[in-house]
Amino acid sequence: MIKEFELNVLPEELVNAEILKKTVSKRTGIRIDTIQNLNLLKKSIDARKKPISYRIKVELSIIEENNPSEDITSEDEKTQNTVIEKYKDVHNAKPIIVVGAGPAGLFASLKLIEKGLKPIIIERGKPVSERKKDTAQIIRQKEINPESNWCFGEGGAGTFSDGKLYTRSNKRGNINEVLDIFVEHGADQEIRINAHAHIGTDGLSSIIKNIRKTIEDCGGEYHFETKVVDFIVNDNEIKGVITQKGDKIEADSVILATGHSARDIYYLFHDKNWALEAKPFAMGVRIEHPQELINQIQYHSRDYSSLLPPANYSLAYNYKERGVFSFCMCPGGMIIPAATDNGQMVVNGMSNSLRNSPFANSGMVVSVKEEDAKEYYQYGALSMMKLQEQTEKKMFEAAGNSIVAPAQRLTDFMKNKTSFALSQSSYLCGLIPSNMNKILPEFISSTLREGFMDFGRKMKGFLTAEANLIGLESRTSSPVRIPRDKDTLQHIQISGLYPCGEGAGYAGGITSSAIDGINIAEKIAEKKIN
Ligand SMILES: Cc1cc2nc3c(=O)[nH]c(=O)nc-3n(C[C@H](O)[C@H](O)[C@H](O)COP(=O)(O)OP(=O)(O)OC[C@H]3O[C@@H](n4cnc5c(N)ncnc54)[C@H](O)[C@@H]3O)c2cc1C
């Protein structure tokens, strides 16, 4: 007999399978000798009150007293061996162009193969190992490579990230399918269980390579260092793409999964008069505290270092009908330069699987509405992107035309004075003391100040001189939407063109972009089969 239970256990009761079995037996009243198998299905930290505990969901395989020889095989074991078999040989199958090898493009490609279609992946950046060398070069030379950086290249913006795998929206599709594919390609089984699952940059790099092996072994194709610069269209029907080398690649379906930083694609649509919409997004700074301080606040001063992961937080406040919130919090992480071209100052956060840096960083961002971009209305649907672009430029200029990042102690920001000296930071390109109040648009700095007051009340010790604000956090989600038909998922004017993932404005994050890729591939397969 299989039964599921939800209960709270102490961190020390979760470190060892035997101890956990005893605890579960005691709490559920099920005799320990009748528990044949204990399967941990979900866990999340409950730090709201002392003592801190884990909320867990377990599945017990229980031997019934009158049927002691019953052999119970868990669902997981039954499905394990069948997973890779789902992928078909597509060497000679119908080609579908996939532009962009980020989570949306890669998960779409895997689904296409499952459905018997051949993905032709076109990626402006390089394979992950070469891309790593380019990001190291960016730090050494303080110069952005516009084709190979933290956003562009194999795996997209998701490769050198924190690899958090949760999404706020469960309605978009099957999250478990995404997690299963990650596990099939080398992620730890733990991601299926942990409510706040994360993989880390080190894990993601090898998973991305394993996904490439699956795609290529099945007959899919990759074209690296190949940028799409135009589309082939006949009577509003897509016929293929044109690359920067002038090559034409033909297919009657194109998945456009170029991410939120491919501004050239938005300009291309704009120049062609193809439908685009301005989209609200969020912008602000990244805040960095010592991780130890965040642990003390969140774990109520008790040292849980051997039992619990580095603590995270999630904060939100509403001020005058405008949201201010933490975004992409990275415990034990580091801050990286995330610009995609020179003349831009953009930061973001990443971590390794162990999350063992001494710093905790998080975006602290304010919602940006269409009316905030009045100054740029002449750019139509690109007005929000223009505001984003100009703020990045201003931040770059404030750093002396460099990707050394403008920074300010949090307490100095609240007092509106430039910091004399800064706290230690993980940001590898260096910091320059600045006054964010003078660089950020006023509606952002004033809302941030109100937000920090509230966050200081919610987390005692958060509002401290030990924290630096580092700018600019601007690539939170796409400032543009490429509209698509809600049933066919094709662009509303160009049939066969499928705007997909974060760049199209239909996802935000690794998991939701992957789900969007899967959904689009399924739509294409439906159309090809019927
Ligand atoms: C540093 C960092 C940390 C992050 N951490 C997290 C996290 O922990 N959890 C989370 O959920 N999300 C995180 N994100 C966000 C997440 O990475 C994105 O939401 C996700 O990658 C979007 O997926 P996508 O496939 O839609 O686009 P992208 O991942 O942006 O991929 C787009 C791809 O298209 C390629 N491309 C662009 N233009 C062209 C062209 N013209 N021709 C050919 N190829 C092109 C790009 O090179 C890129 O590889 C992070 C992002 C960054 C930068």
Output the pLDDT for position 258: 98
Atom of ligand 1 nearest to the CA of 103: 25
Residue with tokens 């300010």: 408
Ligand 1 pocket mutation, candidates 111, 124, 314, criterion most atoms within 8 A of CB: 124
Residue with tokens 């320990």: 32
Give the whole-angstrom CA distance, residue 17 versus residue 281: 44
Q: Whose CA is nearest to atom 27 of ligand 1?
A: 259
Q: Whose CA is nearest to atom 11 of ligand 1?
A: 509
Q: Whose CA is nearest to atom 10 of ligand 1?
A: 509
Distances (CA, A) of 482 to 52, 73, 530: 45, 47, 26
Q: Does 200 contact ligand 1 (Cβ within 6 A)?
A: no
Q: Does 255 contact ligand 1 (Cβ within 6 A)?
A: no
Atom of ligand 1 nearest to the CA of 227: 42
Ligand 1 pocket mutation, candidates 98, 121, 151, criterion most atoms within 8 A of CB: 151
Atom of ligand 1 nearest to the CA of 503: 26
Output the pLDDT for position 303: 79
Q: Whose CA is nearest to atom 3 of ligand 1?
A: 161
Give the whole-angstrom CA distance, residue 338 versus residue 354: 22
Atom of ligand 1 nearest to the CA of 100: 34
Mapping DSSP onto H, E and C, the string for 363-386 reads EEEEEECHHHHHHHHHHHHHHHHH
Q: Please check whether residue 265 is in contact with residue 382, taking contact to mean a CB–CB distance below 8 angstroms.
A: no
Q: Does 227 contact ligand 1 (Cβ within 6 A)?
A: yes
- Going from the Cα of 127 to the center of ligand 1, the distance in angstroms, rounded, reads 14
Tell me which long-range contacts 458-463 makes (C-beta under 8 A, separation of at least 24): 458/315, 459/297, 459/298, 459/313, 459/315, 460/297, 461/293, 461/296, 461/297, 462/289, 462/297, 463/410, 463/411, 463/414
Give the whole-angstrom CA distance, residue 352 versus residue 350: 7
Mapping DSSP onto H, E and C, the string for 274-318 reads CCCEECCEEEEEEEEEEHHHHHHHHCCCCCCCCCCCCCCCCCEEE
Ligand 1 pocket mutation, candidates 152, 335, 470, 477, criterion most atoms within 8 A of CB: 152
Atom of ligand 1 nearest to the CA of 338: 53
Atom of ligand 1 nearest to the CA of 198: 8
Output the pLDDT for position 190: 87
Residue with tokens 């992950």: 128
- Beta pairing, strands 281-290 & 316-319: unpaired
Output the pLDDT for position 174: 86
- Going from the Cα of 479 to the center of ligand 1, the distance in angstroms, rounded, reads 14
Output the pLDDT for position 232: 98
Q: Please check whether residue 506 is in contact with residue 260, taking contact to mean a CB–CB distance below 8 angstroms.
A: no
Q: Whose CA is nearest to atom 18 of ligand 1?
A: 509
Q: Does 158 contact ligand 1 (Cβ within 6 A)?
A: yes
The tokens for 365 are 């961002």
The beta strand positions in 88-200, using DSSP E, are: 95-99, 118-122
- Going from the Cα of 124 to the center of ligand 1, the distance in angstroms, rounded, reads 12
Is the domain spanning 2-72 CATH 3.30.70.2700? The answer is yes
Atom of ligand 1 nearest to the CA of 163: 8
CA angle 310, 42, 507 (to 5 degrees): 80
pTM of the shown model: 0.91
- Going from the Cα of 120 to the center of ligand 1, the distance in angstroms, rounded, reads 18
Output the pLDDT for position 75: 44
Domain residue ranges in the chain: 2-72, 86-276+482-529, 278-473
- Going from the Cα of 158 to the center of ligand 1, the distance in angstroms, rounded, reads 5
Q: Please check whether residue 24 is in contact with residue 58, taking contact to mean a CB–CB distance below 8 angstroms.
A: yes
Low-confidence ranges of the chain (pLDDT < 70): 65-84, 167-171, 529-530
- Going from the Cα of 257 to the center of ligand 1, the distance in angstroms, rounded, reads 9
Q: Does 499 contact ligand 1 (Cβ within 6 A)?
A: no
Output the pLDDT for position 246: 97
Output the pLDDT for position 84: 66
Peptide bond into 479 cis (omega under 30): no
- Going from the Cα of 293 to the center of ligand 1, the distance in angstroms, rounded, reads 31
CATH says 86-276+482-529 is which class? alpha beta
- Going from the Cα of 513 to the center of ligand 1, the distance in angstroms, rounded, reads 9
Q: Does 122 contact ligand 1 (Cβ within 6 A)?
A: yes
Radius of gyration from C-alpha coordinates of the chain: 24
Q: Whose CA is nearest to atom 35 of ligand 1?
A: 100
Q: Please check whether residue 297 is in contact with residue 311, taking contact to mean a CB–CB distance below 8 angstroms.
A: yes
